[in-house]
Each structure stands twice: as structure tokens, then as C-alpha cells.
Structure 1
């Protein structure tokens, strides 16, 4: 009995841990384990960088393998020893629970292991059947293809989580800015808006609480989803290193888990602009914003080469280096036009300015010369307000200047308002005979200046 046990142990040591048969052309990894050359190459197929040992998962830095000549000769000797190996191996092979025969076939439709009798039954007569080795190779490659996708999903989930945290702090800052604006308004209106102040601050606090709760809930959902993804990734990686039979056993369950992954929905929110009750001289401007606000976008084709139009086409800033020149662009002044123009009606738009430098806003005729060396003025078809800014350029700073422009085409007027204190700045009066284009200009010394179109009511 002791001899038989020793002989069985010797035969086990002479077997490949992957195919479980005697080693063929044996090679040794860096960690000291032996494999058939073809088996280890097949197991490492498609991997890059480091290659884990199938036995101990030690990461081998490259595919360099040492051929074990002495072990090769030893296996030739072991193969000559008469043993019960064939019988023992057959007894250890998994059997069909129904027919008690060796499982040697895989049904691709039902994702099940079959024996010879299962294959002959009507249940699988018209199904695609494959040998275990071929099926294992196919599904091993499919599982490997899931790994990179899962890693990308995990990375995307982590990015979304970070983005939500950033959005939360951004929202808190915007709410804080609105609170500051409310306080500024109430200082001017005092008793008239004192009761409204309390109500609206409570509304902002409620909005903050509600959004925070929803963001925390979504963060928890994202965290749970990330845990599910990591768990599935770990299970699939572990599955890929299993033997063919173990890999295919339960493959349907793990494959369904991957196919049925559902990304949690993202909580979308939009901060509502708080409205106020203004005294009579405020009501006209408030009504004007509500009734006539236009949604403008900047036209990159008309932008001076020194201007940068951001992707949303709502913001423009100055850069020191010149970009590509467009024949339709302004070349004498760092200006840009809106994509939208007006030849009738009443229209209102708002612009925020941050930074330091000269700027001007207004409208110009569609035929206004863009390359002539002349100062824009009503005489040559450009009605603009010119000022100097010296404010913070922090995205959420309350120090941004906000200017409102109101065009009444039929009346022939362009009016400008300071929306921070609701004051009238200036009105051009005249007659318009052709299409007018909203005009935005950053002075040549405005290297830190930023303009952006806003649509807040």
C-alpha cells in the first residue's frame, strides 16, 4: 500500500497542473512550477505585461520559460511504469448525474455539460455541441473579453462618484452665492422684502438638504454598483484560471450576471433661481427678462484668432497665442458675434464678465466690417457699451459682473442694465434697417477676462 501511494504521488508530480496528463515538453516558470509548454502558452494567451502562474499566481515578468531536460527524461521513465493511472483518472473525472457517464460534450445553446447519452437525447438533438476543450477555450476567451469592459465600468463608476462629489460642492457654492445675492437685495429693499428673505432662505436650505440627500443616496448606489462590479470581476478572473470543466460548470450563472448588469441612473438636478418681489421700479426689468430672454450661442467662425470659444459656445476668453484665421472672423478687434441675429421683435440676453481688462457688449449690423481698422460706433453700425472690469475669475465667485442687454428692434433702441443692482446703464436710440447680431468684445489687454452668456431668470 505504501508503495502504491508513493507511486501515485510520483505520477502526480509528473503531471501537468493544467491538462492533468503527463508533462509534454516540460518547462519551468520563475516560481519553480512545471507545465507542458503548450498548456502554459495557451493559458497565457492574450495576456500582456505580467503572466500569473496557474498554481501559485506568482507574476512572472515575461514569457521566458526554462526547458527542464532532466524532468523530460524522468517522465519518459515514469510512463513505462505499469499503474492504475488510467482507471484512477477515469474515476476522478466528473460524471453525468443522470446517466453516470463521463461528461465530454458542451451544449452551446443550454450552456450545459453532456455525456454521450445526453447527446443522443431529443433534448439536445438540434443544438450546437462542442468538445469540452474547444468550448472551454471559446468561453475562456469570452470571459477574458469581459474583464477589460468591467475594469472600464469600474473606472467610470469611480469617476462618476468623484464627479458627483465635485458637483455637490459646486452646487453648495452656487447656493451660497444665491444667498449672498439675496442678502444684497434685501439690504436695499429692507422691510419690503424682509419676510420674503426668510421664506427664500428656508427654501434654499430645503433645496440644499434635498439635493444632499439625493446625492448621498446616489453615491451609495454607485458604491454598491462598484462593489458588484469588483465582485464580478474577481469571480470572472478566478473562473478564467480554473480547469476546463470547472470553468464551464456554472458558466451560465456568471455569464448572466455580466449580461444583466444595470448601471444605476444618474440623479440630474437643476438649481432653481429664486425670484423676489420687487418694488415698482424693479418690476419692468423683471418682466422684461421673463418675456423676452433669448438663448444665444457664440459663432466660432466669427471669432478673432486671439479668442477661445469654449465647447458649450456660451463662454469666450482671451489667449496670448493666435489660432487659425477664418475669413469671416474679426481681425481688427478681439470680438465674436452670436450665431443668432434679429431683424424684428424684442429680445433680452445676459452676460457675465469676470477678470481684469476692457470689454464691450452690444449689437452690430450683419454687414458691419470685421476687418476694417475703425472703432466700432453707431455711425458704422455698432451699438456697444464699453467698460473696464476688475473682478474675480473664480467660476462661482459672486464678484462676476452681470450685464443685461435689451433690444427693441421696432422702437430702435438698445438698452444696457447692471443686473447686480437692477440699475439702468445706458440706452442707444436710433433706427435699424437690417439684421442685428449680438456683439461681444474683449479688449487687447484683457488676458484674464472671461465672458459667458447666462440664461438665469
Structure 2
């Protein structure tokens, strides 16, 4: 009896409850019952037809109408493909190629994509902030260009002041060149600013679109999400225009340029030798400045019997050399070169006959900056007013032996003489 009961139970389990025949390719549903695939498929189709033909309430019909449908199959969208970034209906899911693409429920996909969009908002916000900074920076560059151009224009005015009549035509050309360069750079900066402004406008619109998207329902948010991703991934920022102005875009007359070229080519970095300095001359620690100073009006006995002078630590026995002397206040001074053996700070008067080639300046017409040029082989010592770029005086001689740059303050007043490198 027990065997017969077990056999009967086994036959029941191996039979399809719908066709009552033995199971063919059996499938098990969630409740644990077994069916033939064709039987259960047919039964579901019959039920679907019955449901479709049965009348629905107004609320149910409205809900069905509001649910998004597949544009291709007109069926309810039930899954989201994370690979193709689109909503799918059952028929779309059945035609996937490959069929194992990642599909997730709409609620889960919406939550995930909303997080992605919020991160995108953060990144775009940073891009927008950076664009604002660059825009403001380019605006500051325009002002910087104007300030630099004004500085150069003021420098041009100053240098051309003493050459006004002979340089009037050249000055107008220089000023026009500055204006053209200024306008050219300003136009480029303004145009670049427009591009950055338009880029900021696009970023702001994109940010607004994403903000509105995030507020939509899950289905609306996921609908068209691919286009937002594509526009975000293919964003391009405008190139930043970087300007570089020439140091000087104007030229000056040949004698002016010749002097500056001579200074730059033959400049000599001199230091004063305190061992050769007169007692009334104070030499700075760096050897660049000599000050004539009498404490409390007490004259040094040696000052009454000599010329307060000092020599440079450097000497020359060949070549061309240029150095600059800056005069601090009004007074007299003598500049030039002398033989290494010339006895300075004595009663012997400096002259060409005893090996000292100098020129005295002042007391009231002394330039603030005097350039001294030595051409040893040519036998010339020349003195220049650096403010007007003009020749003041020249000495011609035949040099032998080592020559030392010579500085003498011929005045009873305090006077500062600074030797500077040009």
C-alpha cells in the first residue's frame, strides 16, 4: 500500500496540472508548482486577453495612461539598461544583443543616475568657478596692458623731452605703434573674454538643465539621459589667450642707440679702493659710494694740501670699458683715468702731463649721471650726459701701462658719488 501511494504521488508530481499529461521541459514557478512551458505560456496569454477586455476603473485607466510606454512597442517600460542608458519594455529586453546586458529596476537606476548627475553638477560648478576666475584675470590683464603701455609712454616722453624738435616725427610714430599694439592685445583679450563668457553661459545653462532633470520623476529623469551624458562628456573649454609684450617696440636715433649699445657691451663693474681714498672721503662697505665729509667743520690738514680723490680697485691696460657715476648733490667733481703710479691725494695737480686724464664738472651744471668711456687702443677718454645721451667732453692721448679709474670730489660741501653698474 505504501509503495502504491508513493508511486501515485510521484506520477502526480510528474504531471502538468493544465494538460494532465506528463511534463515536457518542466518549469517551476514561484509557488513551487511544475508546468509545461507551452501550457503556462498559453494560460498567461488567455489571462492577458481577459484582463485587456475587462473594463477598468477611471483611476486605473489614468494610471496606465500616465505610465511611460515604449515608443517602439507601446508597452510599459519596466527596466533600465546601464550599458545603453535607456529604458526598456519586455519586448526590448527580449531582443537585447548581447542578451546579458546589465538591467536594473527603474527605482534603483534612477537613484544611481541621480547620484551621477549630482556629481556632474559639482564638477560643472567647479568649471564654472574656474571660468569666472579666468574671465576676471583676463579683465585684469587688460588693465595691466594699459598700465604698462602708459609706463612706456611716460618713459618715451621723458627720454624725448630734450630731443623734442628733432624727434617729433619719430615720437608720433612710436606713440602710434604703442597704440596699435595696445589695441591689438586689448582686442584679443576682449575677444577671449567673450569666448569665456559664452562658455560660462553654456555651463550655466547645462547646470540649470541638470538641476531641472534631477527634480523630475524617475522615468522622466531617465528618458533622454544619454544626451545629457554625451553633452557633459564632450564639453570643451575655450583656449586662454596669453599675451607677451615686447620690452620696447620703439627705436631711437642712432647716437642714442649707439650709446646704449656701447654701455651694454663695454660696461665695467667698478668698486672703490679704500686704501687709496683721501681721509675726508668715506667709502661705503660695498665700495660703490664715496662721500666727502668734514666732521664738525674741522678741516683735515691733509685736505689743505691735496685733492680729495680715490681710485678704483680695477685697472685696465687694454680694451674698451664704460662706467657710470651718479652725482648725489650739487658740487664739483673730477672724473677720468690716471696711471697706476700717479700720486693721488698730494699737492701734485692732476694733468695730462703727469699721467692723469680727467675732466672737472660743476658746481652748478654737473649732470646727475655721467658716463665715462675708455678706449685704450684708440687713446680716448669720453664723458657723456646720460640724461640727454650727449657727448660732454673728450680727451685724446697715447696710453702706456695700466690705467686706473679716477674719482675726485673738488668741493668743500658734502657730496656723494656713487658708481653703479649699468
Judging by fraction of residues, say which structure has more helix.
2
Normalising to structure 2: TM-score of the pair? 0.50
The structure whose Rg is larger is 2
